[in-house]
């Protein structure tokens, strides 16, 4: 593949990285976002433009306040362009010394200033005092500067109080785009940790830049003492290097002089050891190799940051998936909390009523005295049955009690720092949650837990996603304080006996009567017994992987809810009714079928009600982030993969 095709392919891949990255910013915390953004900015404003266009390399003169940056800049540029003052913080903006032929080339000038990430048109400096005010970079024409080089006088980065540095952001922005750094320091600043850390970050933050060190000191200092201080700076800037001396293009000393400070003489700058003079080193740089080396290093660093960003984004998305699915599981548990009492007494009464209505007239008349006698005995009996849900109002009251308690438990769980959830590890609906938690635990992400609790169940601990923690706390507080009676009342209306269930009871009576044999039809005594059954309200639910043995109860197999796997409901049946085996089995099957149908019809609308008023509000931002970042993350992965493949072909 020829170089042009590779360049086009590489450029397209870089553009895809930029487009995808901008949509992934919401997945990162503030510090992570700034770090990621700096890599994307460098790719946007320097790497991509320089794939197709030639531009002067940027040599930035940098250092703290009053170290002689402007003096050195003027010396290299060959004129008194930048103002020289004895007070720190005089230089508040960048000044570029550029060859006149470059200034005449609008395309190159536009590209050059785009490297600074500035969209404003470049403006020439009119007077040195313009450097006093912050603003867009300025330039001067200097015939002594080669066409392929632009020398920059940059703001000092240590003027200010404590951590409030007046010019640091402006200096950092320029240095991040430069190819070579000329770092000046003095006897007072050579071992200053804050300054050294800033320069180290500028040189090796994203890619490695070439560096020239200049030590401004008294002319009386011997070279061996100067070298000792310079090597200290080198070791601090390149702490991981086996030989820091090999990291610098050149080492120089600049002797202090009152005449230089007054502008009456040029500074005396001497190499420490063998090497060219300062101006010769700068103007004689191999610009092609310097640019290639810088871009190669920056591209490698950008790709490393993209890989780190992909890993962080994947983990953040797992956090969001884990929280979203855990909240859904808790929603389904809340449904069960509200529907744990089946209106069995109402169903039994309705069943008996429908059966009596289907009986022949003579049978109904024959059983009338028996029913009245039973009612009379019950009235005078000293042994009272527990209060049963034998009316719609009683059932509604019980449901509201259960449902309020269930919603309160749900809100309490959502308010905790971490959700505690039990799920079926074999359920297809919870595979995403289980995989997310396993990945988070394997990556040692703090506070996440996933452990098997037996019988196909897993205990999960899911903290609030760090990206949404504050938002979630505010949302949950608002939900908790909101008046819930209106929609809880709607839930009660949904849960009560409805026309569909009455129809199911009628259908069951009709089907059963059609199946009865002549002999069974003659035994209408059983159905009279049904009419005298006490209303029964005892219904409990449990979820497991096998059908439990319930003795005098009935196990109804219900449709599984999210995260619960196989779900069974145990309905209580009177221990002694005087029924034969066939009739008892019929009663059990009838109740089981009715409960299964009733539960299937109720769970979805009540779950939807809980989601609309509670859980959807908690996972709204979570779901939105997952939806908007899925495609960009996939595109970023693909673009990074293509660049890696290209590097493999190039090798």
Q: How far is CA 623 from CA 322, 538, 614, 617, in A?
A: 11, 39, 14, 10
Tell how far CA 388 is from the center of its chain. 50
CA distance 51 to 45: 11
- pTM, two decimal places: 0.77
Tell how far CA 614 is from the center of its chain. 21
DSSP 158: -
Long-range contacts from 116-121, C-beta under 8 angstroms, 24+ separation: 116/45, 116/173, 116/174, 116/177, 117/41, 117/45, 117/173, 117/177
Place of tokens 């449901």: 399
Structure tokens belonging to residue 16:
């895809």
Backbone dihedral angles phi then psi of residue 140, each to the nearest 5 degrees: -130, 150
CA distance 216 to 224: 14
CA distance 50 to 451: 52
pLDDT in tens, 136-152: 888 999 999 999 999 99
Which of 146, 107, 114 is closest to 288 using CA atoms?
146
pLDDT on residue 390: 45
Tell how far CA 111 is from the center of its chain. 35
Q: How far is CA 230 from CA 200, 248, 256, in A?
A: 14, 11, 16
Q: Give the side-chain half-sphere CA count within 13 A for 519.
A: 0
Q: How far is CA 324 from CA 433, 478, 617, 619, 632, in A?
A: 9, 19, 11, 6, 20
86-100 burial: b if 16+ Cβ within 10 Å, else e: eebbbbbbbbbbbbe
Any idea where the domains of the chain sit in the sequence?
56-285, 314-626
pLDDT on residue 385: 42
Q: Is the distance from CB of 635 to CB of 20 less than 8 angstroms?
A: yes
pLDDT on residue 545: 41
CA distance 452 to 398: 35
Torsion of CA 130, 132, 136, 140, to 10 degrees: 40
DSSP 46: I
Strand, coil or helix: 580: coil
Residue-by-residue DSSP string for 214-270:
EEEE-TTS-HHHHHHHHHHHHHHH-TT-S-GGGGEEEEEEEE--HHHHTTSS--EEE
Q: Is the distance from CB of 310 to CB of 633 less than 8 angstroms?
A: yes
pLDDT in tens, 467-497: 888 888 888 888 877 767 888 888 888 887 6
CA distance 24 to 309: 9
Q: How far is CA 527 from CA 79, 257, 552, 589, in A?
A: 115, 118, 19, 15
pLDDT on residue 548: 46
pLDDT on residue 235: 92
pLDDT on residue 484: 75
CA distance 516 to 506: 16
Q: Is the distance from CB of 8 to CB of 49 less than 8 angstroms?
A: no
Fold of 56-285: Rossmann fold (3.40.50)
Q: Which ranges of the chain have pLDDT less than 50?
A: 1-3, 373, 377, 379-390, 531-532, 534-537, 544-551, 576-578, 651
């Amino acid at each position: 593949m020829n170089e042009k095709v590779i360049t086009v392919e590489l450029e397209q891949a870089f553009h895809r990285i930029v487009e995808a990255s901008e949509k992934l910013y919401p997945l990162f915390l503030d510090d992570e976002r700034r770090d990621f953004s700096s890599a994307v900015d460098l790719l946007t404003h320097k790497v991509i433009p320089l794939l197709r266009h030639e531009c002067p390399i940027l040599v930035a003169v940098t250092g703290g306040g009053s170290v002689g940056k402007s003096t050195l800049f003027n010396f290299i540029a060959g004129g008194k362009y930048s103002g020289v003052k004895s007070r720190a913080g005089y230089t508040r903006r960048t000044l570029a010394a550029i060859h006149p032929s470059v200034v005449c080339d609008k395309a190159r000038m536009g590209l050059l200033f785009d490297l600074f990430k500035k969209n404003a048109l470049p403006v020439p400096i009119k007077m040195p005092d313009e450097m006093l005010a912050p603003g867009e970079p300025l330039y001067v024409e200097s015939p002594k500067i080669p066409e392929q080089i632009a020398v920059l006088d940059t703001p000092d980065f240590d003027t200010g109080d404590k951590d409030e540095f007046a010019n640091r952001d402006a200096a950092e922005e320029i240095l991040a785009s430069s190819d070579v750094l000329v770092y000046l320091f003095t006897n007072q600043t050579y071992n200053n940790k804050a300054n050294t850390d800033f320069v180290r970050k500028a040189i090796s933050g994203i890619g490695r830049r070439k560096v020239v060190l200049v030590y401004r000191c008294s002319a009386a200092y011997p070279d061996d003492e100067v070298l000792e201080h310079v090597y200290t700076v080198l070791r601090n800037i390149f702490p991981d290097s086996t030989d820091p001396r090999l990291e610098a293009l050149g080492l120089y000393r600049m002797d202090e002089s009152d005449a230089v400070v007054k502008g009456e003489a040029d500074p005396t700058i001497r190499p420490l050891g063998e090497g060219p003079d300062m101006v010769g080193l700068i103007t004689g740089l191999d610009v092609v190799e310097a640019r290639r080396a810088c871009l190669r290093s920056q591209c490698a660093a950008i790709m490393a940051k993209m890989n780190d960003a992909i890993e962080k984004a994947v983990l953040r998305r797992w956090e969001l998936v884990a929280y979203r699915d855990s909240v859904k599981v808790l929603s389904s548990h809340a449904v069960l909390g509200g529907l744990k009492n089946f209106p069995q007494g109402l169903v039994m009464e309705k069943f008996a009523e429908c059966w009596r209505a289907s009986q022949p007239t003579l049978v109904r008349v024959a059983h009338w005295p028996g029913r009245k006698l039973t009612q009379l005995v019950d009235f005078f009996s000293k042994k009272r049955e527990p209060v049963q849900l034998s009316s719609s109002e009683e059932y509604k009251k019980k449901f509201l009690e259960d449902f309020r308690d269930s919603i309160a438990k749900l809100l309490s769980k959502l308010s905790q720092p971490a959700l505690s959830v039990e799920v079926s590890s074999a359920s297809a609906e919870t595979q995403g949650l289980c995989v997310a938690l396993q990945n988070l635990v394997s990556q040692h992400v703090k506070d996440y837990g996933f452990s098997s609790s037996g019988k196909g169940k897993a205990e999960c601990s899911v903290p609030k996603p760090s990206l949404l923690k504050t938002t979630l706390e505010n949302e949950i507080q608002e939900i908790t304080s909101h008046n819930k009676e209106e929609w809880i009342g709607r839930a009660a209306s949904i849960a009560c006996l409805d026309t569909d269930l009455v129809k199911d009871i009628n259908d069951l009576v009709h089907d059963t009567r059609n199946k009865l044999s002549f002999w069974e039809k003659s035994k209408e005594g059983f159905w009279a017994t049904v009419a005298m059954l006490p209303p029964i309200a005892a219904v409990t639910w449990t979820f497991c992987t096998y059908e439990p043995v319930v003795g005098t109860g009935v196990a109804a197999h219900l449709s599984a809810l999210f995260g619960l796997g196989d779900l069974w409901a145990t309905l209580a049946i009177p221990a002694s009714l005087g029924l034969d085996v066939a009739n008892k089995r019929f009663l059990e099957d009838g109740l089981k079928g009715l409960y299964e149908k009733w539960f299937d019809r109720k769970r979805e609308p009540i779950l939807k009600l809980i989601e609309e008023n509670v859980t959807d509000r908690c996972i709204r931002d979570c779901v939105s982030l997952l939806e908007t970042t899925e495609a960009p993350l996939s595109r970023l992965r693909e673009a990074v993969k293509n660049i890696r493949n290209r590097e493999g072909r190039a090798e």
